[in-house]
Amino acid sequence: MRWRPRSILGGFGLTFGFTLFYLCVIVLIPLSAIFIKTAGLGPTEFFAVALSRRAVAAYRLSFGAAALAAAINSIFGLLVAWVLVRYDFAGKRIVGALVDLPFALPTAVAGIALTALYAPTGWIGALLPIKVAFEPIGVVVALSFIGLPFVVRTVEPVLADLGHDVEEAAASLGAGRRQTFVRVILPAVLPALATGFALAFARGVGEYGSVIFIAGNLPFRSEIAPLLIVQQLEQYNYAGATAIAATMLFASFAVLLAINLLQAWDRKRMASQ
Amino acid sequence: MRTLVGLLVLVGLGTAPALHAETAILNVSYDPTRELYKHIDLAFAADWKAKTGETVTINQSHGGSGKQARSVIDGLEADVVTLALAYDIDEIAAKSGLLPATWQKRLPNNSTPYFSTVVFLVRKGNPKGIRDWNDLVRPGVAVITPNPKSSGGARWNYLAAWGYATRTLGAAKAREFVTKLYHNVPVLDSGARGATTTFVQRGQGDVLLAWENEAYLATHEAGGDAFEIVTPSISVLAEPPVAVVDKNAAKHGTTKVAEAYLRFLYTPAGQEIIAHDYYRPRDPAVAAKYAGTFKPLQMFTIDRNFGGWQRAHKAHFADGGSFDQIFEAAKR
Amino acid sequence: MTTSPPTSPTTAEPRWVRWTLIAVALAFLVVTLALPLAAVFAGALARGLTAYRSAIAEADAIAAMRLTLTVAAIAVPLNIVFGLAASWAVAKFDFPGKSILISLIDLPLSVSPVVSGLIYILLFGLQGWGGEWLRDHDVKIVFAVPGIVLATMFVTFPFVARELIPLMLEQGRSDEEAACSLGATGWQTFARVTLPNIRWGLLYGVLLCNARAMGEFGAVSVVSGHIRGLTNTLPLHIEILYNEYNYVAAFAVASLLAGLALVTLVAKSLLEWRFGDQLAGGR
């Protein structure tokens, strides 16, 4: 390497080189296959497939359900994080550990368990007046399961680091507890909450294993975008499958970018305090 | 990159069973035949051992027929394919050249050692009073059938409904009929087995459109009289074909075993297993023996009613075909 | 990671508010998390212990277990090596494009598992770029174990790196630079100074990576070929059992993975509890 980074530590060439190599071989080259294959389609054909009415319905479901689930997770995730950080109660440690269950549990296991629970014959499904399994709302339920730890784990450290002095200052100035929460605590937590939302959303959009059992898979109604990709594959329409995959990848990149920008904003804010 | 590939290959070979000591063939099949081929494979292995002294292992893969065909085209090295409809094997021939386009003529009965039809499975007592196809379009009846885009069984279901409508209501009204039917479908599984699970286990729907053998199997698995089979007045003659995948078998050196395996399906022993597992056998003697199980019904064929699978597929299941249009219209 | 409740009455909520919030949070968690877990075990034991045992001991299940373990045994160490290399390069040096690199490492997290499998079909499938060459040389990648390993590596790629990078960034370079100035070689520095500092973060990342590697479904489903006894991992085997009306067996095998998840959670909590200060604060 002509240019060397300024450091007395060795090993840059080796580690950086290996990192790039591994990244290329495992991630970048395979991913580029999607774009190269898609590029084989002309622009008209690409938009015809990627924006076909069925695809749009699928995006609407995948993105819509992911957004709704992420929103639910933001509210309840904040609540759970708050309760875990601020309060003490019996079994708190167990609850804290349990929050990570969706990270550790395989998606297929979650899928069959949730379907069993919310089907009309299931423990919860039998109690509810509305049909959950095989309807779009079932997708929201599954994605809420998947996304919860993203929000809790992102918000918890921020809540924990929140000093009490600002709250006490607000209280001494006459703010009620609720006012303090809305005007002091919430703004401080907002970047982390937004990051958690974005992470849960990004994960939910592409989720397959836990949703495929509980979704109805009806085109135009309860068909998730990843399933549509699989369908196109099974019709030997590789270009169609990659077109939809490419569209979803673009959306994911955008969300990833937003997350990184959010985190940079947060770091800058923290640094300035 | 080469070393990485090599490493991975070594691992792959290391974890695969020792294929050198015995012969192994891969049968890539469609969804509902799991139980059938479990029995066939045992019987054939014993038969082959007795005849040639060679031990043969038959590996099975099951999934939606279209999905399985796609996998073979993508490189899944099936020695034989036993799929739900001739169209899927035609596609393998056309898109990968692994077997000749004339494959269907090589075995008797258009390469279909067993056939079946589409019947209705209803809950005990048939509470919605479903007797025939026209009951399926009544409001308030929930019909379970898989997605024709990925499931071979679903395509037979779809064409059976279409054929019924053509014959009883006229060709002009057929599309309307099938649209109304799909209006009543709450969930689309990707495979025939998934649909049966949804109906039987998840308690969805009032009636399941199923392969006859699936219906029987479900009734027995569920036990008791939880479900009843309703045979409609007319249905489609469903002929799931089998074929040796020439280039793969030649590559593995298993052509002889693969051919013997498929021929076994036509022997009395094979036909007996087939009938026992609720597939309608071709052998007249075995059919007579199991006459009680299989109700006679009028059946129409794809060739006569739809001009063959190529045309049927283009008109109905290709992108923009009647299924796509119907589904858009049925979107609620 | 946790602070004690505020003692000052001006910044504490009234008790009834506190307990209501706890109750609502717990109710939400029970419904969302605990019930599905319970459903798995209830389904597995629905027909008693003998049915459970025979489901686990069945030949195809054991083959699936072996495959899952093999795949994890290859994918996880490779991703560990990558994670160590990447975090060393990122944390100990300054170079342009660092944030791009970090974003690229995060990429697989936002790719749908189905797409993760699809890309390998496009590359190595018979109709793909390398397909014909591979077939002529009898190298099986997709629809065989190597394809499953690759897809799993793709999906679990970021986990170790994501744990180590912030941790090593936080820890800085002073320790390593001190060691270097005292005459230690690069490897010595790494082994004796860096590794001990990051060992709990590393373990944490390995746990997550492993859990995901053993549980991956979507990506493996696309590349697997579903050959019973040969290319079915545990999650795929669960799907097969489920599709054969064998719900008890499906849940029985699922309970194995659920059990693994619980072990992962316990190990994670222990790590956080004892060594929380040595793990990165933000994630």
Could you tell me which residues of chain B have a Cβ less than 8 Å from any Cβ in chain A? 1, 4, 64, 66-67, 70, 73, 91, 95, 147, 149-150, 185-190, 198, 201-204, 318-319, 324, 327-328, 330-332
Tokens of A124: 């919860």
CA distances from B319 to A237, A253, B148, B327 (A): 10, 29, 12, 12
Closest partner CB to C243 (pick from B8, B9, B193): B193
Q: Beta B234-236 vs B298-300: how paired, if at all? A: parallel
Looking at the predicted structure, is the pLDDT value of residue B313 above 70? yes
Share of residues in chain C with pLDDT > 70 (%): 93
For residue B38, the model assigns a pLDDT of 93
**Nearest-by-Cβ selection for A171 from C3, C11, C150:** C11
Mean pLDDT throughout C84-106?
84
The shortest CB-CB distance from A7 to any of C92, C265, C266 is to: C92
Any chains having at least 3 CB pairs less than 8 A from chain A are B, C
Higher pLDDT among residues B182 and B67, named by residue: B182
Report how far residue C163's alpha carbon sits from residue B320's, in angstroms, rounded to the nearest whole number: 47
The share of chain B scoring above pLDDT 90, in percent, equals 55
User: Which token pair is A109?
Assistant: 């296991």
Residue reference for tokens 């790629």: C157
**In the predicted model, what is the mean pLDDT of chain C?**
84
Question: With a CB-CB cutoff of 8 Å, which residues 69-128 of chain A face chain C?
Answer: 76, 79-80, 82-89, 93, 95-114, 116-117, 122-124
Q: Say yes or no for a CB contact (<8 Å) between B62 and C144.
A: no
d(CA A81, CA A96): 9
C118 in contact with chain B, both atoms CB, cutoff 8 A: no
Which of A16, A19, A29 to mutate against chain C (most C CBs within 10 Å)? A19
The stretch B72-98 carries a mean pLDDT of 92
Residue B332, pLDDT score: 46
Residue C226 region by backbone torsions, left for phi larger than 0, else alpha for psi between -120 and 50, else beta:
left
pLDDT tens digits in sequence order for chain A, 273 residues long: 455 555 667 778 888 889 999 999 888 888 888 888 888 778 888 888 888 888 888 898 889 999 999 999 999 999 999 888 888 888 888 888 888 899 888 888 998 899 888 887 788 888 888 888 778 888 999 999 999 998 998 888 888 877 777 777 877 887 777 777 787 888 888 888 888 888 888 888 888 888 888 887 777 777 888 888 887 877 777 788 888 988 888 887 787 777 777 777 777 777 776
Name the pairing type of β-strands B227-230 and B118-123. Answer: antiparallel
pLDDT digits (tens, 9 = 90+) for B39-70: 999 999 999 999 999 999 999 998 878 888 88
Place of tokens 């499904």: A125
Answer yes or no: do A106 and C36 touch at CB < 8 A. Answer: no
Q: Among residues A222, A219, A220, A216, which one has the least CA distance to residue A118?
A: A216
Q: What is the pTM of this model?
A: 0.82
The total number of residues written for chain A in this structure: 273
List subunits contacting chain B, requiring 3 or more Cβ pairs under 8 Å.
A, C
Amino acid found at A145: F
- Cβ neighbours of residue C219 under 8 Å, at least 6 residues apart? C113, C114, C116, C117, C151, C152, C154, C155
- Chain A residue with minimum CA distance to B88: A235
| Model confidence at B100: pLDDT above 60 | yes
- pLDDT confidence bin for C93, thresholds 50/70/90: confident
pLDDT digits 0-9 by tens, C172-223? 788 888 888 888 887 888 888 888 888 888 888 898 899 989 999 989 988 8
Q: In chain A, positions 250-269, which contact chain C (CB-CB < 8 Å)?
A: 252-253, 255-257, 260
| C212 within 8 A of C159, measured Cβ to Cβ | yes
Residue pair C265/A98 in contact (Cβ under 8 Å)? The answer is: yes
Type of residue numbered A32: S
Nearest-CA distance A36 → chain C (Å): 10
Average pLDDT of the segment spanning C74-80:
94
Chains in contact with C, where contact means 3 or more Cβ–Cβ distances below 8 Å, are: A, B
Question: How many CB atoms neighbour CB A84 within 10 A?
Answer: 24
Backbone phi, psi, residue C150, to 5°: -60, -45
Q: Is A209 on the interface with B (CB under 8 A)?
A: no
B201 contact residues in C (CB cutoff 8 A): 245, 247
